[in-house]
């Protein structure tokens, strides 16, 4: 009878759920009715879900009616989107490749112009004179600074002095990193370093070697990182007045008051050859990547270009007095300064200056007996139209070279008291460093007591970032 009762109630639930629910609620709560309630709830839940699901099944039909898109049309639409995406990616890729090609072509063109000595970046028009408080003075030498070099990465500056010492500075902070002390005359055998005035320095383009030359005919080779002594070159019979590494190599050129130029292989710690031609002591030397160097011949009033491989030289005349300094602007052009107060721009294709500015730093003395201020140093920002000159008229002067290096126009001057014995631009042209002293680099004709022996770091700001290149 019990099984019949359950069966009857299940059948009635299938026929009339409302009645089933009422009977279930009226049950006496025994075990059988509890089990039945669970099954009844499941049946009711399933039906309610079906009722709720009916509107959701109709909704997609309504959406399809609104879009009215067949499967074929959908495939076509997606295919078009995919093709448009591919086209955009290809256009973007082609644009990037075109930009890279233009960039590479531009670099190749610059390299070609640089090799030919015709590269001239026009940046002088964008240079702005720094405020006086932006110019920093680094002091550490007891006597006049005679020469300086900037490392290729522009992080450090090396300076040398008449006190026979060499100091390594951190360019950004101005902190003194290391000092190679000078020794007294007669202590050469036991002192590692110079014992006479240091007149010139050079650093290799990879920053591996630092060279310094002194009045005692010696050339010292140093490790710029550790400031340890590496080699000592002997051979000159007079003071070593000029040093330069050939760019991209460890070949070192040296010039001397003995009127000769010597070639050295620093890697092999070896002497290579000697070149003769000047009729007076050589006062300056420079070179770039070609197998040649340029020299200033002092009172023989000549500038000479030495072609090492051809064993020949080109002789240039133009100054009216001693030519005390020379720097290459690029492979074909150079700038010189002398005690006649003039600055000249030269090209290797002409024996006379392309352009000359007389009394570049003014003149001094009584009326009728005026003398021009000596040009004691020059510098060139390589492959550009910007050069700088120094004297003892309390200013460093910046100049703009005209197109084709014809003509020199003054840009601005920076107040600096003392003899400006050395000038160097950083490779990027972000700053200029002036080595200053109370006395001239090559002598002690007179002394400027108010001058401070040290380095002036002059920042060079620009109005525009873009650089124009002309041939």
pLDDT tens, 289-304? Answer: 999 999 999 999 999 9
Confidence grade of residue 120 (pLDDT, cut at 50, 70, 90): confident
- 21 vs 407, residue with greater confidence: 407
Q: How many C-beta atoms lie closer than 10 Å to residue 66's C-beta?
A: 7
Task: Give the residue-averaged pLDDT of 436-464.
Answer: 91
- What is the arithmetic mean of pLDDT over 432-445? 92
User: In the 8-state DSSP scheme, what is residue 76?
Assistant: H
Domain boundaries, the chain: 2-67, 69-116, 122-470
Q: Are 424 and 148 in contact (CB under 8 A)?
A: yes
Give dist(CA 331, CA 383) in Å, integer. 9
**pLDDT tens digits, one per residue of 18-45:** 443 444 444 444 444 444 444 444 444 4
Give the C-alpha distances (Å, rounded to integers) separating 201 from 107, 184, 294.
Answer: 31, 20, 16
Q: What is the mean pLDDT of the chain?
A: 84
Per-residue confidence (pLDDT) for residue 44, from 0 to 100: 41
Pick from 42-56, 87-101, 164-178: least confident: 42-56
Domain 122-470 top-level CATH class = mainly beta
Q: At what angle do helices 17-25 and 2-15 cross, to 10 degrees?
A: 130
Q: How far, rounded to the nearest angstrom, does the alpha carbon of residue 346 sit from its chain's CA centroid? A: 26
Structure-token pair, residue 214: 């002194």
Higher pLDDT, 429 or 59: 429
The percentage of the chain sitting over the pLDDT mark of 90, rounded to a whole number, equals 63
Average pLDDT value for residue range 146-172 = 96
Residue 101 has a pLDDT of 67
Q: At what angle do helices 31-67 and 2-15 cross, to 10 degrees?
A: 20
């Amino acid at each position: 009878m019990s099984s019949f009762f359950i069966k009857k109630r299940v059948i009635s639930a299938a026929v009339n759920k409302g009645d089933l629910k009422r009977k279930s609620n009226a049950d006496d709560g025994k075990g059988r009715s509890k089990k039945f309630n669970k099954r009844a709830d499941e049946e009711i839940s399933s039906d309610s879900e079906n009722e709720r699901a009916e509107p959701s099944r109709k909704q997609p039909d309504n959406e399809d009616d609104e879009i009215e898109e067949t499967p074929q049309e959908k495939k076509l639409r997606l295919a078009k989107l995919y093709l448009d995406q591919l086209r955009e990616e290809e256009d973007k890729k082609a644009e990037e490749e075109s930009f890279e090609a233009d960039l590479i072509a531009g670099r190749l063109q610059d390299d070609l112009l640089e090799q030919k000595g015709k590269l001239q970046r026009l940046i002088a028009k964008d240079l702005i004179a720094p405020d006086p408080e932006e110019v920093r003075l680094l002091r550490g030498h007891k006597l006049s600074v005679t020469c300086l070099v900037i490392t290729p990465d522009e992080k450090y500056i090396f300076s040398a002095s008449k006190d026979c010492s060499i100091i390594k500075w951190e360019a950004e902070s101005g902190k003194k990193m290391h000092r190679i002390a000078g020794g007294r005359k007669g202590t050469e055998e036991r002192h590692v370093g110079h014992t006479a005035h240091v007149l010139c320095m050079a650093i290799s383009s990879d920053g591996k070697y630092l060279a310094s030359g002194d009045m005692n005919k010696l050339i010292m080779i140093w490790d710029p990182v550790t400031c340890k002594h590496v080699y000592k070159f002997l051979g000159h019979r007079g003071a070593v007045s000029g040093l330069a590494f050939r760019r991209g190599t460890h070949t070192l050129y040296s010039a001397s008051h003995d009127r000769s130029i010597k070639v050295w292989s620093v890697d092999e710690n070896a002497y290579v050859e000697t070149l003769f031609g000047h009729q007076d002591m050589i006062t300056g030397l420079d070179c770039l990547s070609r197998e040649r160097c340029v020299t200033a011949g002092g009172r023989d009033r000549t500038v000479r270009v030495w072609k090492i491989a051809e064993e020949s030289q080109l002789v240039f005349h133009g100054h009216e007095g001693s030519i005390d300094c020379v720097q290459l602007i690029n492979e074909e052009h150079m700038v010189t300064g002398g005690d006649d107060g003039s600055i000249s721009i030269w090209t290797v294709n002409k024996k006379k200056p392309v352009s000359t500015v007389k009394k570049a730093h003014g003149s001094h003395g009584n009326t009728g007996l005026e003398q021009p201020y000596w040009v004691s140093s020059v510098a060139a920002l390589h492959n550009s139209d910007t050069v700088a000159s120094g004297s003892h008229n309390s200013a460093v002067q910046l100049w703009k070279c005209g197109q084709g290096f014809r003509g020199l126009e003054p840009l601005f001057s920076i107040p600096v008291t003392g003899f400006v014995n050395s000038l160097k631009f950083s490779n990027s042209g972000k700053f200029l460093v002036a080595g200053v002293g109370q006395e001239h680099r090559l002598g002690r004709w007179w002394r400027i007591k108010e001058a401070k022996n040290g380095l002036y770091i002059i920042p060079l700001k620009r109005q525009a970032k873009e650089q124009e290149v002309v041939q």
